Chain A
Amino acid sequence: MFKYIKEFFKTLFMEFKGVKTHAVSFHTSAVVKGFSAEEKSINVHSEELSVPVNQILVSPSVKLHDLKNETKIRVKRDDLIERACPCHEITLPNLNDSVKTFNADFQIAVISKNLVFRSKVVEGVHYKMNVHMGDDMHHIRIMRIKREKKIDKNKVLDALARFLSDYKGNLRDFEFIGYYKSVPIGHVEKISVSKKDLMILLKKKGRNLKVDVLLIKLKGIYKIIPARD
């Protein structure tokens, strides 16, 4: 009789002391969220995979009230693939409120080998690349021609002299902006000026003609003057 009473109090004492055991079973799709494989040849050498506990399915008999949402189980990927064994359950010792994480090294047995390798490949490892033709895209037909830092003085003066000989307006309205080399004038659909550079929208088909040009501003309006060779 005394033996039974002693055993009763011993058990009761252990309960109050908080020594608990947990049997946890892992469902593969939860454990390997975002990662699955159907071939053994896939070999992952990487940092640890962290899986939030709330993503892991646990058998109904398990009391998981000790595990908070932020608790994570860490599983080494190498172990996940290569050292998995058919055991489905494990007892996790010393699992209490103070335990926020625990290491997979002693839990690896809970992962079912069959389950791991039965998982479907949900994402392809290899890339398939589609290549498109973009000849019609107007972005590739906008050419920037920068203002030359070194100008050909003779060419510029000659072109300006020709222009000014016919110019009747006030010279105060005249402003020289820049000199630009090799402008494909035969392909110009539209020209605009951006930060003193010429922005040319090129036509798909045009004449094979390139000229050096001067850009001037007359009463606030840009004007292009070709320079002769």
Chain B
Amino acid sequence: MIGYLSVKKIDGKHVGGILVVDKRGIPVEFKYTDPVVPTELQKILYGSSLETYLHADIIATSLLGKLENNPIVILTDHPDLVEVDKRVFLVSESTERVENTKEIGEGEYLIPFQGRAIRIVSKEKPSQEVLEKIKEISEELDIMEPFERLDRALRYVCSST
């Protein structure tokens, strides 16, 4: 199983969701938060740290706390969420081509994906087992695709509230 964690700001509303899929991409669990619209007071008090606080400390933490499954890897498309849990990896597509997993910085790796690579960044240096797991998943399914589903679902949540 692999988790996908995302937080969006859609029409001024902050909303988050976590989708867990199996190795075929079939959804196993999906949880989402109520959309949050910060009040003027909250904007004043939190200032520029509002979004980071809201996205990481409130939304992502709440979602991970309610997760019933325990995926070994949780991918996110949002840099702020890497700090929330050591299982969370920021993932993005890279134009570089690599044959094997390559460490490019501290907690930063390139993993082969569809002839090119995905770049992952983590809070702590991941174990070899985790890196192998990500590589294995990326060979079996389009590892970025579930983010599209999350995005659609979160947009739906925002539009329906």
Contacts and interface: CB of A to CB of B under 8 A. Distances in A.
Given A134-B17, A143-B145, A129 B40 contact: no
B19 to A, nearest CB: 6
B130 to A, nearest CB: 22
Closest 5 CB pairs of A and B: A139-B153, A129-B62, A139-B152, A134-B30, A131-B66
A137 B30 contact: yes
Given A125-B41, A129-B33, A131-B66, A137 B24 contact: no
A134 B42 contact: no
B149 A140 contact: yes
A210 B59 CA distance: 34
A71 B36 CA distance: 34
Interface stretch (A7-15, A19-27, A107-115, A145-153): A145-153
Contact of B27 (A123, A141, A150, A182): A141
Given A127-B42, A139-B149, A144-B142, 6 more contacts: A46-B47, A123-B42, A127-B54, A133-B29, A145-B145, A182-B141
B31 A134 contact: yes
Contact size class for A?
20 to 34
Nearest to A49: B44
Interface in A191-216: 202, 206, 208, 210
Interface string B37-75: 001111011010000001000110011011000000000
Interface centre among A130, A137, A202 (most CB of B within 10 A): A137
Given A130-B33, A132-B31, A210 B24 contact: yes
B109 interface: no
Contacts of B27: 135, 140-141, 202
A146 B30 CA distance: 23
Given A140-B19, A142-B149, A35 B44 contact: yes
